[in-house]
Amino acid sequence: MKLDYLEIYDTTLRDGAQSEGISFSVDDKIKIAKKLDDFGVDFIEGGWPGSNPKDMEFFEQAAEIEWKNARIAAFGSTRRVKSQVFEDTNIRLLLAAKTPVVTIFGKSWNLHVTEGLRTTLEKNLELIHDSIDYLKQHDKMVIYDAEHYFDGYKANPEYALQTLQTAVEAGAERIVLCDTNGGTLVHELLEIIEASLALDLGVPFGIHAHNDSDVAVANTVAAVNRGLNHVQGTINGYGERCGNANLCSVIANVALKCDTKVKEKVNLSSLTNLSRYVSELANLAHREEAPYVGNSAFAHKGGIHVSAIRRNRQTYEHIDPSLIGNHQRVLVSDQSGQSNILQKAEEMGIDLSGNGHDVKNIVHHLKEMEHLGYQFEGADGSLQVLFMKATGQYKPFFELLSARVLIDKREDDSIESEAVLKIRVNNIVEHTAAEGHGPVDALDKALRKALEPFYPTMKSLHLVDYKVRVLNSEKATAAQVRVFIESSDDVSVWGTVGVSENIIQASWLALVDSISYKLIKDNKDVHEQ
């Protein structure tokens, strides 16, 4: 039996979270799940209840949310050899997660049965049967992940097939063939799939591939082309060791290049955005060279390529990047740089060539700042302030006379951060101080205290996000630091950026840009010195 569409099972929050360097908070997980739901995936595997406290907390919160497209799945193993199914801790926690779907993994590889579980092949079939049967009695949709299926099949094909049969007899509604160690190449995978489909179990099959041989996406797409339309993977291919099949690539390949239908609810044109969002929450740099969704995926260097794509995009682009929400970039071309910047300024209502200014100089200045580590993609606030400065349209809202930040740490580990600020507004000198949770918080508080009497609308300004990236981290504590701040005033949201060797200075630059942007917005006419 074959599904007549691509069924997307996302395990970013469980298998993806096994990536070295990823550690999602419960809050991160809820945010990502909502984004996946918006995008249109069918299943969201939230975690393994009981493996750590965060996972259960996620399921508690998830149960309260009305999901539009996705069903939430809890993941866990078959019952233990020594416990009865109804008293098995793992199985009980799976039920406690209160998800509509439970994904159970069991052993298909005789080696794992005897060396891992240290039980008999016979007994392992019982574990599979009991666990699925019990979950079905509790009205769960059960997906069966056949762990190490391909290695198992190579070692003992009869037994591997028997485990699948057992799972189906117990009521599993999906049978997912897992290449857990990621060691299988495409041709082997297809041979084993062929032999397994011959069983004709009457249940849709799926594929779960790992990337240890650098072919996880190819394996997944090959399986889909053979009718295994339930695909498990992660956004950006996150996952332990070399990662899982990258759903971004899989979905794009299937949607744009294969016969299998991708449901209409799948919002393909937000794929790039989804990918970036998840890397942001994982706090991993978005891979520039990532297929389809990377910043370089449709970037063309000068020369032959550029003149050819100007005549016909198809000459050097395998798909139209807008289909997946990405865009073409032409590199090392001042001409195109200029037109981008002109377009951006126009959007902001700024006439860059006004006041007799030269757009070329502004572009040049911007490139210099980018060379220093500035990045304006998420920092429209800073960009607008910069445009206004460059064209003489900016008048500062205050003048900094001095700022001092003091961090005081005592023997008992208590710590205090204090900022002392002297600024001039309207020719009045304000000398003020504030404490905060850290040096930047203290600076922010002191600055507001000084400015609010003059600019009452600042009360509505608040910071919603704060990010730090160390640029040349190998210079260690003397490295260049980039700070991104996202601010909002309940009407709009804007980003600002600051770069310095000193994290406090970088934060200060981003803070001041944020306040300037806000005040420009509110005081289009009344600029005060």
Interaction residues for a copy of itself, span 184-223 (CB under 8 A): 185-187, 211-215, 217-219, 221-222
One DSSP character per residue, 472-508 reads: SGGGGGGS-EEEEEEEE-SS-EEEEEEEESSHHHHHH
Residues 114-153 that bind a copy of itself (CB under 8 A): 115-116
Residue 401's Cβ-side half-sphere holds a number of Cα atoms within 13 Å equal to 13
Segment near a copy of itself (CB under 8 A); pick from 121-129, 132-140, 383-391, 440-448: 440-448
372 binds a copy of itself (CB under 8 A): no
Nearer to a copy of itself, 20 or 66 (CB): 20
Residues 464-523 that bind a copy of itself (CB under 8 A): 464-479, 481, 485-486, 500-505, 507-508
Nearer to a copy of itself, 69 or 272 (CB): 272
In eight-state DSSP terms, residue 114 is I
Residues 307-326 that bind a copy of itself (CB under 8 A): 308, 311-312, 314-319
User: Which residues, in sequence order, are bridge partners of residue 498?
Assistant: 483
Query: Taking CB under 8 A as the rule, which mask of x and - marks residues 10-49 in contact with a copy of itself?
Result: -------xxxxx-x-x-x--------------------x-
Segment near a copy of itself (CB under 8 A); pick from 260-268, 271-279, 385-393, 405-413: 405-413
3-state secondary structure of 382: helix
- What Cα–Cα distance (Å) separates residue 469 from each residue in 154, 235, 287, 320, 500? 46, 22, 15, 32, 11
**The one among 138, 265, 395, 409 contacting a copy of itself by CB under 8 A:** 409
In eight-state DSSP terms, residue 70 is -
3-state secondary structure of 246: strand
427 binds a copy of itself (CB under 8 A): no
Residues 240-299 that bind a copy of itself (CB under 8 A): 240-243, 246, 249, 253, 257-258, 283, 288-292, 294-299
408 binds a copy of itself (CB under 8 A): yes
Nearer to a copy of itself, 88 or 486 (CB): 486
The answer for 148, left when phi > 0, alpha when psi is -120 to 50, beta otherwise, is left
CB contact at 8 A, 18 and 26: no
Nearer to a copy of itself, 253 or 391 (CB): 253
Cα separation of 347 and 153, whole Å? 59
Q: How far is the CB of 336 from a copy of itself (least distance, A)?
A: 9
- What Cα–Cα distance (Å) separates residue 476 from each residue in 165, 374, 480, 500, 502? 56, 19, 9, 14, 12
Nearer to a copy of itself, 141 or 499 (CB): 499
Nearer to a copy of itself, 288 or 358 (CB): 288
Q: How far is the CB of 468 from a copy of itself (least distance, A)?
A: 4
Cα separation of 313 and 296, whole Å? 16
Order of all β-strands in the sheet with 493-500: 462-470, 481-488, 493-500
Nearer to a copy of itself, 262 or 308 (CB): 308
Residues 74-103 that bind a copy of itself (CB under 8 A): 77
User: Which residues, in sequence order, are bridge partners of residue 233?
Assistant: 10
